[in-house]
Structures are given as structure tokens and as C-alpha cells.
Amino acid sequence: MRSNQKFRIYIQTFRMDVDFMENRKLTKRDYAVVSSMLFALFFGAGNLIFPLHLGQLAGSNWLPAALGFLVTAVLLPLLSVLAISITRSEGVYDVGLPLGPTFALVFMVLIHGTIGPFFGTPRTATVSYAVGVAPLLPAKFQSLGLLVFSALFFGAAYLLSVKENKIVSNVGRLLNPTFLVLLFLVFVVAFSRPMGNPAHQAVTAAYTSGAAVNGFLQGYNTMDALAGLAFGVTVVTAIKMMGKKDPNEVALVTARAGVFSMGFEALIYFALILVGAMSLGTFKVSADGGVAFDQIVNHYLGVAGQSLLAMLITLTCLTTAIGLVAAFAQDFHKHFPKLSYKTWLGLTSAASFLFANFGLTQILAWSTPFLMFLYPLSMVLILLSVFSPLFQRASVVYKFVVGFTVVPALFDMISSFPPVVSHSAFGTLVTNLRMTYLPFAQYGLDWVVPALVGLVLGLGFYVAQRVRQNNVSNNASEESVNN
């Protein structure tokens, strides 16, 4: 009897603990930690170096360029987080589900492959190495240095994400605050001793009249709209492990954390673009943002600045890598459960290590075409998800919009491949077709008009279906009354 009583007491205590965890209200500290984690997952090396380079390219036109950049680098990622919340989704698969399970699965694999082990995740290691570590090593040790660095980097990413319930604390409480402190020091120095007045700096040719559009397209490079869909599963899992199980409450926490983290990210982007524009008072336009950041930090802090830069870049890249490998493993384990979360985590970490050693130049060259294809599809899916309550997430609307978007997106992908593809006879034919027949093709926005046409047709069919259903329902009601 005594053992049975102990067992009953244990069960009652366990149930009380579970009820407490499920009903417990998240504190402001909890929200801050989730927001910090979400910010850290989004803010990688590209988020640090692309705005700097944009500021240099735009010069005195930095403000319209910044506003365009914020649309694709802040607003779209925020909408992707809201899309997860509004549709009560747990990841990118659920966002694509109105188009059918086959499309949803293929879309999930493409998104995770692009921002994961093939392009996005390897870039976190190659950028941090190229910007922060490579300048400290002799030329003859560059390849070996990348091999060793990427092995240590993805080994750390694996270890810090192998326990799902520790991702919040590892990223939100430890790595991200350290990164923000270091970045704050850079801003204090840069704005207290500006290198030039941004309003008086030269503007490159592409930004004299199309600063906002070019800033918009530069935001593609952050990959954050795609990452927002992929990170959904990581954020939702983390919130559930903090005690929130109800889908409505999980959605509310996700939305609040997204608004806070992306608002903070917008402020940092403005500061980085300004620093880039100010740097033209001392330096010429650099080859890329990594070179620009290296010049700026070394200008102010010398050798110590290079060490600070190495630490800053590595921290921000590592937090993003943790989010990417964890999201990949969580989603793939969910849909291909024969392999465990740890196995998928090991596979994506190993593949990321392998592709990282192809080098940053190759990764950037081959990732751009896939971004040009996936970004339009992701943008329309994000917007459809956000406004889905207006048309009850009807699949007919999704099918028309995505169907009309996919063709110009494919054209953009083919035209963006390296010359071996884009300059071939087929590539040239596709480029001529899109430039001749698709509006806004010269701006890389040739998918916009077809998507709008698809939206009008899709909503038209949706309304027609609703009217037909209402008529059938009314006729049935009248027949039942007459009988």
C-alpha cells in the first residue's frame, strides 16, 4: 500500500507540474529571450555585411536604398513570422499545404536545401572565415585554415543545437547578447568619429535613379524571408518547451517576438547602411561588404579591430548556423521520421561543412539563381498566408497565384545562373523572352504582374464558388421548408 500511495502522489505531483507549465504565463523576460533568439537566428553574416555595402553603393541616396532594403530584409521576414502565426503553422510545409501535400513537401525541401546545407548554412562559415579569420593567416594556409575553421564551426553548431530544449538558452541568453555588445561598441566608435557626411558622398550609377528598387533586390541576399518560414518550426518548438501548448497562445507569442526582434533589426540595418555611406569619406566603394567592414574596423581599432571583427562575425554566423541546422533537422525528422533529429542534425552539419570548403565565391554564384526562383514563390505564399482569413485559405486562390508566379520565377533563375548556363543559347532565349514580354523584368520584378493576374483570377473563382455554394444551400433550405 505504501508503494502504491507513493506512486499516486508522484503521479499527482507530475500532473500538477505539467498543468503549471501549460498554464504558466510567460514573463517579460521570457518574451525577451524568445525575441533575442529569433533575432539571433535571423541576423547572420549577410545581415551584417550587405547593408554596409549597400550604404557604399548608394552614397547620398542611402535613405531610399535603405527603405527598399527594409521591405525584403525586415518586412517580409516579419510577415513570414506572422504567416506562421496566423495560419497556426509549425513550419514551411504547413505554409505550402493549401497547394497539396506534394507541393508542400517539395517546397519545404527546396527552401531547406537552399538556406540549409547547399548554400545558406555553408555561407555562415565561409563569410565568418573570409572576413574575420582569413586576413590573419598567410596566403599558403588559406585552404587549410578554411578546412579547420569550418570543421570547428559546424562541430560547435551541432553541439549547441543537439539538445532542442537548450537552443533558446544557448542562443537567446548567451551568444546573442555577446554579439550585440560587440556590435554596439562598433557603432559607438563609428558615430562618435564619422569618416564622412553621408549626404555628400558619391552615388554609383545603378543607385542614381533606382536606389529603392536596388535596395529591395539587395534584401534578397539576406535570405531572411525564406529563413522566416524555415525557422517557424524552431521557434514554435522552443515556445512549446517553455510551457505553451495551445496553438493560439503559441501564435501570439511568435507574433509578438517577431515584431520586437524585426523592429530591432531594422534599427541596426539603418545604422549599418549609414556607417557604409559615411565610410566613403575615407574609402572607395569596396568589392563587397566583408571588405568594407574589415576596412572600417581596422581604420578605427587597428589589429585589435581585426580580432574584434573575427569574434563579431563568428558569433553572428554561429547563431544563424544553429538555427538553420536545427530547423532542417526538426522539419526533416517530422516528415521523414525513420531518421532521428540527431541523425538529420549530423547529416546537415556534415553536408554544410563539405559545401563550405568550395569557397564563398562559388556559393554566392550558385545560390543567387535559386534565390531568384524561390523568393517570388515565398513572397506570394507569405502574403497569401497573412491575408488567408479573408478567403478562408482557399486552395483555388493559392493555385492561381503560385501558378502564374512560377513561370517568371523560373525565367529569373535561368537568367541568373553563371555564364555557363545564362549565356548559352537556351539561357539567352529565356532572357530575351522575359525582357521583351514581362513588365518590370529590367528590375528583376517580372513576377509581380503575373502574380496579380493570378490573384484576381483566383479570387474570382473563389467568389464564384461561394455564390454557387450559397445558392445550393438556399435551394436545399427552400425544398425542406416546402416539404
pLDDT digits (tens, 9 = 90+) for 103-149: 999 999 999 898 889 888 998 898 888 877 888 888 889 999 999 99
**Backbone dihedral region of 392: left (phi > 0), alpha (psi from -120 to 50 degrees) or beta?**
left
The closest alpha carbon to 228, from 376, 343, 77, belongs to 77
Q: Determine the distance from the C-alpha atom of residue 34 to the mean position of all C-alpha atoms in its chain, rounded to a whole number.
A: 16
Under the banding of pLDDT at 50, 70 and 90, the label for residue 62 is very high
Please name the amino acid found at residue 137: L
Residue 125 parent element (H or E): helix 120-128
Q: Domains (ranges, CATH) in the chain? A: 26-361 (1.20.1740.10), 391-477 (no CATH)
* pLDDT of the residue at 4: 47
Map grid coordinates 578554411 to a residue. 146
What pLDDT sits at residue 179?
Answer: 74
- Written as one letter, the residue type at 147 is L
The 10s digit of each residue's pLDDT in 244-258 is: 777 777 777 878 888
pLDDT of amino acid 102 = 95
Q: Which of 110, 144, 108, 116 is nearest to 129 (CA)?
A: 144
pTM (2 decimals)? 0.78
Classified as helix, coil or strand, 357 is coil
Residue of higher predicted confidence among 31 and 379: 379
CA dist 433 → 67, 404, 415, 451 (Å): 31, 16, 11, 18
C-alpha 27: how far from chain center: 27
CA distances, 281 to each of 4, 195, 294 (Å): 79, 5, 16
- pLDDT value of position 238: 74
395-435, pLDDT tens digit by residue? 999 999 999 999 999 999 999 888 888 889 999 999 999 99
CB 161 within 8 A of CB 326: yes
Task: Identify the band that residue 284 occupies on the pLDDT scale cut at 50, 70 and 90.
Answer: very high
Distance from the Cα of residue 460 to its chain's centroid: 32
CA–CA distances in Å: residue 40 to residues 152, 226, 314: 20, 15, 12
In contact, 37 and 230? CB cutoff 8 Å:
no
Identify which of 195, 106, 24 has the alpha carbon closest to the alpha carbon of residue 377: 106
DSSP state of 72: I
pLDDT band at 227 (very low <50, low <70, confident <90, very high): confident
